[in-house]
Structure 1
């Protein structure tokens, strides 16, 4: 970065605003969102659904297609000056930038958006103003924690996790919260947790220890939303199993952000973490925060539900196949630093 874009720290002016999913499993997604997780669902037409958590008209956009994956993550930038800084950084890095069409903006409930490549083929979209609604929420949850910290977080695996960290540090001034070293389903992982505001992390990036492989088919391994009460969390756990969706990890508590959560599998194959009561990095904590390394992802719980040999074989196949693909979002002057 050079000039004005290098001198301004945009940390705190960025939050995760929405996620776009492409899927052909609309009936399953509607049951999963409304009946299991407990979200507000709006069916716009046979090819479009939106899910709400709060007064934003769109937090999840489901579009019909064959990818069965998250295709874009939308990041809300707090003001126009910060937006211009972020956009200039992307231009300086040489990434192609396109403006969203009026129809794309309307579907996402934003005034305007710009799109550029993100890690793992997931587009990064940035916008400054979301459409809000006073229409009452029709959902089974009593509420979700959103506000200035955004709607939740994304977790992904990467062949070159240090470059993914550099991407988010260079675009959004993401800060390192901590690391976790863990063996999950037989895979040795080092996970980096990155924050862009007071949420402990808005992005988690995992890499296989010593191996430039990605065992996950989808662009993200999981996404997280946070409910306002423990009763909400436990009731949703029961609904997920009652409605026949696969539970991946039972209720447990994470070692680093202390969030209680469970993980279930979405109709498109990536996981959904529903959590409650993680730590918040207040300005007082921010002033003295120092990253540390944890040797386990959980203090207790998060036990795998139903070990799947087929799943591990599929992960091996995806890992080998990942060697044949470069990530165009990471071929930038940002390099491997930060």
Structure 2
């Protein structure tokens, strides 16, 4: 599938007021106008797209959906044909849902773990329109997608890898230096980063662990780091550099219990053409000062969409 990367992410959140403050004042997100029919949610921008993050009212903090961007209409149609050939069950989004997401067309489907995904094309945008919530140099998104997401799964199966590699068409990048079974994957058209999505095995647990966001300069990383420390926000890992990527980053926890990794590129990433097997996760820094799995990782019963359980039942 000709997928660019993650176009948007949607969440259910228990404290939207905390996000209204934290998003602009800590992360530098821009506020986005709510679409018609959804006045109670919070929408954020990080570039000229209409929105990249949506936080909807909910009784539990959880990832609600991942929106993948197909290159265009023909690539989208080819993807639908591929799903039909593989027998993947999907739902075509109606006009109201497409307008809420700000896209031309979309479908919704579940991965074998039970996370809900969407595939779309034609996301609304306005050139040179992004205004950050605070002084900020901007985010690296647009043609590379908004960043990456790491999920925890109660089961890590061959069915999951088949779905990601053979159906979604993602490249397998490796398992990294972490302990346990983990898989890093990147979309077909991604030539900018090592992964768009990763799944870690956490028996009896499920949820979003962190989101990686690329900022325009190391200064943006440092200023965000200072704000996090000034506000005494809980941190997962201090500043450091991973072994597999030429980036500087740190991790801290958000109002919904998952972490943001704020990332600055030291040099552009390139496809090395082989599977790396790093002996250490980071070459310097990244001292672990908080839990690796935050409160966003819960039991599957708490975070799975009930519609997935009905399909499996």
* 1:157-204 deviation per Cα after TM superposition (whole angstroms, max 9, x unaligned): 22215433322212331112232232xxxxx32332211111211112
Report the TM-score, using the length of structure 2 for normalisation: 0.85
Match of 1:39 among 29, 52, 59: 29
- Deviation of residue 241 (structure 1)? 2.8
* 1:64-115 deviation per Cα after TM superposition (whole angstroms, max 9, x unaligned): 1123111101011002222122112222333321122333222222122111
SS in 2 for 1:251: strand
Is the 8 Å Cα contact of residues 10 and 63 (structure 2) preserved in structure 1?
A: yes
Match of 1:138 among 105, 123, 132: 132
Answer yes or no: is 1:181 the counterpart of 2:158: no
- Deviation of residue 279 (structure 1)? 6.0
SS in 2 for 1:142: coil
Answer yes or no: is 1:298 the counterpart of 2:282: yes
- Which residue in 2 is equivalent to 1:171? 167
Distance between the aligned counterparts of 2:14 and 2:300, measured in 1? 25
SS in 1 for 2:77: helix
Deviates more, 1:239-248 or 1:249-258: 239-248
Is the 8 Å Cα contact of residues 100 and 114 (structure 1) preserved in structure 2?
A: yes
Question: CA RMSD, aligned part only?
Answer: 3.0
Distance between the aligned counterparts of 2:302 and 2:18, measured in 1? 28
Change (3 A) 1:108 1:242: farther
- Which residue in 2 is equivalent to 1:200? 194
- Deviation of residue 224 (structure 1)? 1.1
- Which residue in 1 is equivalent to 2:13? 23
Distance between the aligned counterparts of 2:82 and 2:266, measured in 1? 31
- Deviation of residue 51 (structure 1)? 0.6
Is the 8 Å Cα contact of residues 242 and 248 (structure 2) preserved in structure 1?
A: yes
Higher helix share: 1
Distance between the aligned counterparts of 2:147 and 2:215, measured in 1? 10
Unaligned runs of 5+ in 1: 1-9, 183-187, 332-338
* 1:250-269 deviation per Cα after TM superposition (whole angstroms, max 9, x unaligned): 11111111321111112111
* Matched residue count: 300
Deviates more, 1:85-94 or 1:67-76: 85-94
Change (3 A) 1:82 1:155: same
Q: Superposed, which structure 2 residues align to 1:1-338 within 5 Å? A: 10=1, 13-42=3-32, 44=34, 47-134=40-127, 135-140=129-134, 141-158=136-153, 159-182=155-178, 188-196=179-187, 197-198=190-191, 199-207=193-201, 213-215=203-205, 217-218=206-207, 220-277=208-265, 280=268, 282=270, 285=271, 289-306=273-290, 318=299
- Which residue in 2 is equivalent to 1:334? none
* 1:2-40 deviation per Cα after TM superposition (whole angstroms, max 9, x unaligned): xxxxxxxx35x4311000011121011122211111111
Is the 8 Å Cα contact of residues 152 and 202 (structure 1) preserved in structure 2?
A: yes
- Deviation of residue 119 (structure 1)? 4.8
Is the 8 Å Cα contact of residues 193 and 203 (structure 1) preserved in structure 2?
A: yes
Is the 8 Å Cα contact of residues 45 and 130 (structure 2) preserved in structure 1?
A: no
- Deviation of residue 145 (structure 1)? 0.7
- Deviation of residue 118 (structure 1)? 2.5
